[in-house]
Amino acid sequence: MQSSYFVRRIVLAFLAIWVALVLNFLLIHLMPGDPAERFYADPRVPPEAKEEIIKIFGLDKPLWQQFFLYARNVFLGRMGISFTTQRPVLEVLLERIPWTLAITFIPTLAAIACGIWLGLYAAWKRGTVFDFLLRTFGTAVNSIPSFWLAMILIMVFAYWAKIFPLMGMARPGVSLANAPWEFIKSVAYHAALPMLTLFVLSFPGYALVMRNAVISVLGENYILAAQAKGVSQTRLLWRHVLKNAVLPLISMFSLSIAGVFGGAVLVEQVFSWYGMGLLMVRASQARDFPLVQGAVLITILCTIIANFVADLVQGWVDPRIRYG
Amino acid sequence: MRFSRYLRLFRRPLGMLSLLFLVACLVCAFAAKRIAPYDPCDPKARDILFSAQGPSSKHPLGTDVFGTDILSSLIYGTRVALIVGFTTGIITPLLGAVLGAISGFFGGWLDRALMFAVDVIMVLPGLPLMILVATYVGKSYWIVVALFSFLGWPGISRMVRARILSEKAASYVEAACSYGAHWFRILFRHLLPSTYPLLAVTAARIASASVLAEAGLSFLGFGDPLAISWGKMLAEAQSQGALLLGLWWWVLFPGLAITLLSLSFINIGYLLEEVFNPRLRCGTRW
């Protein structure tokens, strides 16, 4: 009954996407205020665009027809016109997504790599000071607000030590067009503290999960058998322990991809890092409804898809799940 | 009430410290007007001459750029944090436990429908949804409570349902059925209490996370504009240039308060688990 696992996951993801669309649509229409405001009734929208929007979204048609038109438009990428920039919402979103990925991708990879090593070491040296420190730090880090950690790091590294810049994404005046190499260097320099913040917040989670997984794997019979066979310490760790202990981490990683889209909002706000998260906040404050809806919808859709991929990957890597 | 059984808890220093901290916060929340040395909402109480000064004898935790005493703001800020923490920590597990228990106990289409809802809701991301709702509805910390409950009950539900399913086959349930106990009694008097230890820990963890979520939402500017919140203090610190001017006390203390309250909730959760789960208490005969 292997295929049923994958089929169930696909059906679930498909239904979840529809629920997200319905939810978004209902929020537009049920929330206090005039739904027309959400699409076009804003002084910033040029009058020609109004007619077009009414036609595309079918705002003069009955509600249920509007929903299907809305769903169709979302899949075609037409999410309306942003009030603040008078550009299509999708265009604005696609501009911002790479910036968010720029500060979330590397820290996640680094956190996993670090987490694997630290967790392995802590499990091997279970009960020592190192293990205790890791566990304490791991529990504490869950309670530290991400934006507070970011501000503390800015205080320490940007204000006192003056190593890194306070905020922003690149030095003003430098852009990809006029000085590409300088631009890349400047972006990397500005991304250091945001990436450090995200790294510090995520690696304890991986380390703790790895530690627990290794401890439970070490108790398995096949490890005892390998030791009885005379397998060397290193080979034992690498070949037998690591491969089996890493399984929960793979699912954690896949889930963290899902969290990437919504998670960096607070850190982006602190560093004025203009990615998807900060876009959502600023659009919300400017009452730019189409942009906020579009951004949140894309985030939800990406989260659903990422979760689905996570389930698939876990099913592929760990055959026990497929039969369970 | 046999209090001797709870004396063992005093052997848990971390738990006791956390309980102490929570009680201190509660006292601050209720008696804020009497404890706080200055009134943070009163513009006349602002010490302009002393503004942006570090910790001193007059202002133990320093002042911000407006001259507001930070200690007083922290004391008044306990109100919002505790309201959000307690209401979310009570409503979400309640909702999740009842729905999970019904789902696990009755099974059938109800179970399938609820578990489908669980699978779908668990996938939705929290902060973006909160921003979206805040855009439509307005700024309030009740958004955190409502959304946390909406997004949090599935996790608990799944846990409770699993426990109920495994306990349903136990012999004491069979015995209860045989003497004609009503399903209500079996469910709420016998099955649900077996979930209390896990529920207590989860409730504490949710309270802890909701404090952080409220701080985050206030930091972004979506919290109640009239209430004092630790997250709002950090937002003001950032926008008023505490990082540029090096006013570390404005950044350190509100964040420390959030972290400590959050940690306290989690440790109290572990303490509660010991209270509810007799097998964890050392020395009892099981």
Q: Binning pLDDT at 50, 70 and 90, where does residue B284 land? A: very low
- Between chain A and chain B, how many beta carbons pairs sit less than 8 Å apart? 129
Give the model's pLDDT for residue A127: 83
Give the model's pLDDT for residue B82: 94
Contact B212 A281 (CB under 8 A): no
Residue A319 sits at the chain B interface (C-beta within 8 Å) = no
Tens of pLDDT, residue by residue over B7-59, are 766 777 888 889 999 999 999 999 888 887 887 777 777 777 777 777 777 78
- Higher model confidence: residue A173 or residue B201? B201
Q: Which residue has the tokens 């203390």?
A: B253
Distance CA B195, CA B159 (A): 9
Q: Among the listed ranges A63-72, A153-162, B93-102, B110-119, which one has the minimum average pLDDT value?
A: A63-72
Give the model's pLDDT for residue A324: 57
Is residue A153 scored above 70 in pLDDT? yes
Give the model's pLDDT for residue A237: 67
Let me know if A271 is exposed, middle or buried by CB neighbors in 10 A (0-12, 13-18, 19+). buried
Residue B126 sits at the chain A interface (C-beta within 8 Å) = yes
Tens of pLDDT, residue by residue over A88-146, are 888 888 888 888 888 888 898 899 899 988 988 888 888 888 888 998 899 899 899 99
CA atoms within a 13 Å half-sphere pointing along the CA-CB vector of B98: 6
Give the model's pLDDT for residue A318: 74
Across A14-28, A44-58, A83-97, B205-219, which has the greatest mean pLDDT? B205-219
Residue A35 sits at the chain B interface (C-beta within 8 Å) = no
Is residue A285 scored above 90 in pLDDT? no
Task: Provide the mean pLDDT of chain B.
Answer: 85
Distance CA B270, CA B134 (A): 33
CA distance, residue A146 to nearest chain B CA (Å): 8
The residue-averaged pLDDT of A208-235 equals 82
Tens of pLDDT, residue by residue over A11-24, are 888 888 888 888 88
Quote the tokens at residue B84.
């959000």
CA distance, residue B195 to nearest chain A CA (Å): 23
Is residue B285 scored above 50 in pLDDT? no
* Chain A residues close to B222, C-beta within 8 Å: 284
Tens of pLDDT, residue by residue over A266-275, are 999 998 888 8
**H helices present in B138-247, as ranges:** 142-167, 171-178, 183-185, 196-220, 230-239, 242-245
Is residue A1 scored above 50 in pLDDT? no
Contact A33 B220 (CB under 8 A): no
Distance CA B281, CA B275 (A): 8
Give the model's pLDDT for residue B275: 76
Which of B132, B216, B252 is facing A147, going by the closest CB pair? Answer: B216
Closest among A18, A57, A19, A22 to A38, alpha carbons compared: A57
Q: Binning pLDDT at 50, 70 and 90, where does residue B126 land? A: confident
Q: From the CB of residue B44, how many other CB atoms can be counted at a distance below 10 Å?
A: 5
Give the model's pLDDT for residue B186: 80
Tens of pLDDT, residue by residue over A168-215, are 777 777 677 777 788 888 888 888 889 999 999 989 989 998 888 888
Residue B238 sits at the chain A interface (C-beta within 8 Å) = yes
Residue-wise burial string across B217-254, b where 16 or more C-beta atoms lie within 10 A, e elsewhere: bbbbbbbbeebbbbbbbbbbbbebebbeeebbbbbbbb
Distance CA A92, CA A211 (A): 42
Tens of pLDDT, residue by residue over B54-110, are 777 778 888 888 888 888 889 999 999 999 999 999 999 999 999 998 888 888 888
- Higher model confidence: residue B277 or residue B133? B133
Residues 6 or more apart from A24 whose CB is under 8 A from it?
Answer: A293, A296, A297, A300
Residue B124 sits at the chain A interface (C-beta within 8 Å) = yes
Is residue B200 scored above 70 in pLDDT? yes
Is residue B283 scored above 50 in pLDDT? no
Which residues 143-172 of chain B have a CB within 8 Å of chain A? none
Give the model's pLDDT for residue A200: 93
What is the chain B residue with the closest CA to A140?
A: B263
DSSP, collapsed to helix, strand or coil, labels residue B221 as coil
Give the model's pLDDT for residue A33: 66
Contact between A268 and A100 (Cβ < 8 Å): yes
Task: Provide the mean pLDDT of chain A.
Answer: 82
Give the model's pLDDT for residue A23: 82
**Residues B107/B113/B119/B125 CA torsion (nearest 10 deg):** -130
Q: Binning pLDDT at 50, 70 and 90, where does residue B219 land? A: very high
CA distance, residue B243 to nearest chain A CA (Å): 6
Q: Binning pLDDT at 50, 70 and 90, where does residue A315 land? A: confident
Backbone angles phi, psi at B63, to 5 degrees: -130, 160
Contact A292 B137 (CB under 8 A): no
Contact B266 A32 (CB under 8 A): no
Give the model's pLDDT for residue B3: 67
* Chain B residues close to A143, C-beta within 8 Å: 208, 212, 259, 262-263, 266
Q: Binning pLDDT at 50, 70 and 90, where does residue B286 land? A: very low
